[in-house]
DNA sequence: AAGTGGTCTAGACCACTGT
DNA sequence: CAGTGGTCTAGACCACTTT
């Protein structure tokens, strides 16, 4: 029937959002119930339900079954930030990405890695790759991989395929954890990233899981003055 | 207090997820269509549709109308990270939060702030607050607020209510932008945060919009060794 | 008892894609 | 053309909260 360009549930969402954005409905205030929206906007309940459900999902509203729907209290809510694949990010900026492989070998498990990767064997695959944006070093990728989950890792041309990409091809990705910190980088890292004296680095530690086990642990060092994470929350 | 059986759409989601996690359906592979799921699992199409739609929303699948549903290629996908309210974060850890107000005044617009806040008037409200976790300084909040949007800002007890909380009460939040960077902090910041010599700082720049205008700009400095951002992505 | 959200169904029409 | 996803309806039953 009424499949106009904007879907009906979008109209319902806007109907609610307008009142929140204008300040008419403040945080904690009760929002019209699904039944009321059905009557007000002449939509079916499933349509109103979808609209409200999506607003809940995006953090704008919160619901209490049996009680009602309320404008979410964003006071203590979190805001999303995106961590992206470095190669994709550089290319999206329209710049040239080049990866230089500094090391790619089988190594005994370093003590500092053992706890974070918890591998079964005594040896790991290790790789050290320097990613450039327009020939300027941007990220140093220090990665350890469990050989049991990616036996062919040493044969991969990491200058062409990023390790993250390869691992996702080989082992189904189940879980990714990121920890972001500001550090004063070790001398070797600073030198490779061509940092100015005393320049800080943004360190992202990425652990990935596959088939119920830890598959890889990576230390991603970024030049403090040349790299930033960006996130926007709208509404 | 009876058996809360899992919703049907969750079963559909698991049905699909199991095959992805096991590697049976690899990135790019075609997923069973809604009709097929309807037949396989004896659910209505709307139920299958909801399940698939949620998996698309979470980034696991991607759809092409008229063509089909496919396992998403996570290669260049981003992973979410959360930036939280500092007071809420500290309290959630079960620790004591204390905010010390170092400054709260009307100031002429600093040159470095003008471009980022783009205020109409010639003066701004400025506040400098040091947030402690168990009496250890964790975040220095250097904030500028447009007086037009929060006229009562100077009267707020920032030791009790965080500025972010107050601003959300006064002006409906429309948009928040975050930029995260690693820096070597200025001497004054290092001293206030009681950083070790040469310690790096994690800087979060937060800009907020309200009623179509920029409402506040905040520089949030964090001790590099005592603060981290954490994010988990689960498939 | 009335209201609320949570879920589910069995249909339907549409626009689009691929053969 | 048949198949796909995108949307929408008008009912329904349930568990829960509020009055």
B160-194 pLDDT per residue, tens: 999 988 998 888 888 999 999 999 999 999 999 99
In this predicted structure, what is the pLDDT of residue A234? Answer: 84
Query: What mean pLDDT is reported for chain B?
Result: 92
Residues 6+ apart with CB under 8 A from A208: A164, A167, A173, A174, A175, A176, A177, A214, A215, A216, A217
3-state secondary structure of A209: strand
On the 0-12 / 13-18 / 19+ scale of CB atoms within 10 A, B1 is exposed
B103 shares contact with chain A (CB less than 8 Å): no
Degrees to nearest 5, angle at CA B119 with B115 and B123: 110
Please count the other Cβ atoms lying within 10 Å of the Cβ belonging to residue B77: 17
Q: With a 7 Å cutoff on the CB, does B89 touch strand D?
A: no
For residue A143, the surrounding DSSP H or E stretch is strand A136-145
Residues 6+ apart with CB under 8 A from A164: A85, A206, A208, A218, B75
In angstroms, what separates the C-alpha of A128 from chain B's closest C-alpha? Answer: 19
Q: With a 7 Å cutoff on the CB, does B39 touch strand D?
A: no
Distance CA B102, CA B104 (A): 7
Among B160, B182, B201, B228, most A C-beta atoms within 10 A, so best to mutate, is B182
Q: CA at A65, C1' at D17: how many angstroms apart?
A: 8
pLDDT digit of tens for each residue in chain A (235 aa)?
433 479 999 999 999 999 998 889 988 999 999 999 999 999 999 999 999 999 999 989 999 999 999 999 876 677 888 899 899 899 989 999 999 999 999 999 999 999 999 998 899 999 999 999 999 999 999 999 999 999 999 999 999 999 988 998 888 888 999 999 999 999 999 999 999 988 999 999 999 999 889 999 999 999 999 999 999 988 7
A200–B183 CB contact, under 8 Å: yes
The runs of H, that is alpha helices, within chain A are 8-21, 34-41, 45-57, 86-92, 111-117, 163-170, 187-192
In the predicted model, is pLDDT for residue B75 greater than 70? no
Query: Nearest-CA neighbor of A64 among A24, A18, A30?
Result: A30
On the 0-12 / 13-18 / 19+ scale of CB atoms within 10 A, B168 is buried
On the 0-12 / 13-18 / 19+ scale of CB atoms within 10 A, A226 is middle
In the predicted model, is pLDDT for residue B218 greater than 60? yes
Q: With a 7 Å cutoff on the CB, does B172 touch strand D?
A: no
In this predicted structure, what is the pLDDT of residue A126? Answer: 97
B196 shares contact with chain A (CB less than 8 Å): no
- Mean pLDDT value across residues B95-122: 94
- Mean pLDDT value across residues B50-65: 95
pTM: 0.89
Which of residues 21 through 60 in chain A touch B, CB cutoff 8 A? Answer: 21-23, 26-27, 46, 57
In this predicted structure, what is the pLDDT of residue B101? Answer: 97
Query: Nearest-CA neighbor of A201 among B180, B112, B191, B190?
Result: B180
Contact B190, B199 (CB under 8 A): yes
- Pair of tokens at residue B220: 């949030």
In this predicted structure, what is the pLDDT of residue B4? Answer: 61
Among A138, A160, A172, most B C-beta atoms within 10 A, so best to mutate, is A172
The runs of H, that is alpha helices, within chain B are 8-21, 34-41, 45-57, 86-92, 111-117, 163-170, 187-192
Residue scoring higher pLDDT (B80 or B3): B80
Query: Nearest-CA neighbor of B89 among A81, A78, A178, A59?
Result: A78
A232 shares contact with chain B (CB less than 8 Å): yes
Q: Which of B23, B79, B173 sits opposite A83 (nearest CB)?
A: B79
Predicted confidence band of residue B137 (pLDDT cuts 50, 70, 90): very high
Query: Nearest-CA neighbor of B212 among A51, A207, A234?
Result: A234
Q: Which of B82, B181, B183 sits opposite A80 (nearest CB)?
A: B82
In this predicted structure, what is the pLDDT of residue B173? Answer: 86
């Amino acid at each position: 029937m009424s499949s106009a360009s904007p879907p009906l549930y979008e109209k319902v969402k806007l109907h609610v959002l307008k009142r929140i954005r204008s300040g008419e409905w403040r945080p904690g205030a009760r929002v019209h119930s699904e039944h009321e929206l059905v009557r007000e906007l002449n939509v079916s309940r499933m349509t109103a339900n979808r609209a409200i459900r999506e607003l809940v999902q995006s953090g704008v509203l919160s619901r209490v079954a049996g009680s009602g729907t309320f404008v979410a209290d964003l006071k203590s809510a979190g805001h999303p930030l995106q961590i992206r694949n470095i190669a994709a990010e550089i290319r999206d900026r329209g710049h040239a990405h080049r990866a230089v492989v500094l090391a790619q070998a089988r190594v005994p498990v370093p003590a500092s890695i053992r706890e974070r990767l918890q591998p079964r064997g005594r040896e790991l695959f290790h790789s050290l790759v320097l990613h450039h944006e327009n020939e300027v070093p941007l990220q140093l990728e220090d990665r350890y991989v469990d050989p049991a989950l990616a036996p062919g890792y040493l044969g991969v041309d990491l200058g062409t395929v990023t390790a993250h990409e390869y691992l996702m091809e080989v082992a189904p990705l189940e879980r990714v954890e990121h920890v972001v910190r500001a550090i004063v980088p070790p001398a070797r890292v600073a030198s490779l990233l061509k940092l100015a004296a005393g320049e800080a680095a943004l360190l992202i530690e990425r652990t990935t899981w596959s088939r119920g086990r830890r598959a890889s642990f990576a230390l991603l060092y970024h030049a403090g003055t040349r790299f930033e994470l960006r996130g926007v929350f709208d509404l």
